[in-house]
Amino acid sequence: MRRTVSIVCFILFLSSPSFGADLSGNSRTYLRFMESTNDDTFNPLYEYFDFHISNINGKDISFFFGGWLSYDLADISYNKRYDNNLQYAFIQYNHRASEFTAELGRFYVFEGIASEQIDGVYVKKYFRKKFGLAVYGGIPVETDFDERGGDSIYGGRLSFEGRSYILGLSYLKEKNDSNDFREETGIDLYLRPLNEIELTGHSDYNIGESGWQEHSYYLSISPASSLYIKPLISWIDYRNFFYSPTTSAFRFDPAIVDPNEKLLTYGGSVEYNVGPFIISGDYKRHNYEIHESADYYGGSITYLSISPIFSKKKGSLGISVHRMDGKIESLKYNEYRFFASLNLNKVSLATDIIDIKYDLERNGVKNAYAISGYLGYSLTKNLILSADAEYGKNPEFDREVKTMLKVIYRL
């Protein structure tokens, strides 16, 4: 309680008129009703709260906070009646003129090979508006399988940025219990020689295991107005990629997923935009070195009624059909989806139907589906009340019903 009062006082102090700071954020309250496969009933109540205070004391300092609390009103969900999580809380100094940014606290780092959450410090500086240097270090925020003592993470990225390209070189090292846990380096690339051609991608190298983890590249070509061709290719070496998980789910059993596997995925999509309609076809081939290959292909028609920049979405409609066609029976199924949404003045409606038809029965079920509906009402500009429900049948549940009530308030 004392800590909560201290935080509230701190926020009020920083956002007081004498400081001239701007405060904004969201409170999101969710109440869920659902059952487990053992027919246990769960009614967890969640409060997600986030805010940021910018321009503290009229300077370039901001403070960001996000986290949630939960309490199960019916039963003990996931072995805990109470639960919580601090998603992020950090002070940021962002000096635009000198293109310098520093962060201190719990934050996210997205820099080349790093997609991490860290308790620590992050600094980024652009030099001559041409190249940037980012460095970070601290304690990783991960699912702990032991104590955090002796855990550390640090790394950085050097980037060279022009009007039509970005080239980045990044490095990351993580220790667990003072022992080496991860050491990786990567190259990331962005090329846009013409407005009609764009290439993005990265190659990641596992230094500890001395081998490439992944190459992943995505090309977008627009040979004519409203027509987009988007090929993609990626390659993954399982032994180098899955080398430091914190769950046994990725410590593979050779009988199910061979850790010596190498996966080459290629394919792409073709999109044609006709006014608010997007017509697309896509194909992806998964070629395994050890297991049998699998193809995934299909098409979709989507209608998006959006005034592109300044207005809210008015509505959407979509239908898609896809086929997973693997060499083995368990990887053969058809996937159908239909969705629609409509935003009226104060009322929002949405529905989503997903149907999967397996070639081979799973737990006696050949046709799995989920149907959901949503109704929202804007009580004021900043307060939205909504309810949604989902009904489904699948190999795990004969009849699955999930509902959720939401109250969203914007500060």
Cα-flanking dihedrals φ and ψ of residue 293, to 5°?
A: -75, 165
How far apart are alpha carbons 381 and 379 in whole angstroms?
7
Build a one-symbol-per-residue string for 174-193: x at contacts with other proteins by CB under 8 A, - elsewhere: --------------x-x-x-
Q: Which residue is it, tokens 């769950």?
A: 247
Candidates 248, 345, 381, 399; binder of other proteins (CB under 8 A) is 248
**Residue 166 is which amino acid?**
I
Q: In the numeric block, which tokens belong to residue 372?
A: 């959901």
Smallest gap from residue 3 Cβ to other proteins (A): 19
Q: Does 117 bind other proteins (CB under 8 A)?
A: yes
Q: Does 158 bind other proteins (CB under 8 A)?
A: yes
Q: Does 340 bind other proteins (CB under 8 A)?
A: yes
Binders of other proteins in range 9-28 (CB under 8 A) = 25-26, 28
Smallest gap from residue 2 Cβ to other proteins (A): 24
Between 66 and 298, CB nearer to other proteins:
66
Q: Which stretch binds other proteins (CB under 8 A): 1-9, 11-19, 140-148?
A: 140-148
Q: Does 339 bind other proteins (CB under 8 A)?
A: yes
Q: Does 198 bind other proteins (CB under 8 A)?
A: yes
Q: Which stretch binds other proteins (CB under 8 A): 1-9, 11-19, 113-121?
A: 113-121
Residues in contact with other proteins, total (CB under 8 A)? 130
Close Cβ partners of 35 (under 8 Å, ≥ 6 residues apart): 41, 42, 400, 401
Q: In the numeric block, which tokens belong to residue 369?
A: 């589906």
How far apart are alpha carbons 318 and 279 in whole angstroms?
10
Question: β-strand 365-378 against 383-393: which pairing, if any?
Answer: antiparallel
Binders of other proteins in range 347-376 (CB under 8 A) = 348, 350-352, 354, 356, 362, 368-370, 372, 374, 376
Q: Does 32 bind other proteins (CB under 8 A)?
A: yes
Candidates 162, 193, 211, 281; binder of other proteins (CB under 8 A) is 162
Close Cβ partners of 184 (under 8 Å, ≥ 6 residues apart): 113, 171, 172, 173, 204, 205, 206, 207, 208, 213
Between 5 and 181, CB nearer to other proteins:
181
Let me know the angle formed at the C-alpha of 342 by 339 and 344, rounded to the nearest 5 degrees. 170
Q: Which stretch binds other proteins (CB under 8 A): 2-10, 11-19, 261-269?
A: 261-269
> Looking at the chain, how many residues does it have?
411
Candidates 203, 316, 334, 378; binder of other proteins (CB under 8 A) is 316
Q: Does 249 bind other proteins (CB under 8 A)?
A: yes
Q: Which stretch binds other proteins (CB under 8 A): 3-11, 12-20, 125-133?
A: 125-133
Smallest gap from residue 118 Cβ to other proteins (A): 10
How far apart are alpha carbons 183 and 168 in whole angstroms?
17
Cα-flanking dihedrals φ and ψ of residue 5, to 5°?
A: -60, -40
Between 5 and 275, CB nearer to other proteins:
275
Q: Which residue is it, tokens 């009402």?
A: 377
How far apart are alpha carbons 255 and 232 in whole angstroms?
30
C-beta atoms surrounding 333 within 10 Å: 20
Between 26 and 152, CB nearer to other proteins:
26
Euclidean distance between the first and the last CA atom of the chain, given in angstroms as a whole number: 22
DSSP, collapsed to helix, strand or coil, labels residue 73 as coil
Candidates 93, 266, 283, 397; binder of other proteins (CB under 8 A) is 397
Residue 105 · residue 119 · CB < 8 Å: yes
Binders of other proteins in range 46-105 (CB under 8 A) = 46, 50, 52, 54, 60, 64, 66, 70, 77-78, 83, 85, 87-88, 94, 96, 99, 101
Candidates 43, 203, 378, 386; binder of other proteins (CB under 8 A) is 386
Binders of other proteins in range 282-301 (CB under 8 A) = 286, 294, 296
Close Cβ partners of 310 (under 8 Å, ≥ 6 residues apart): none
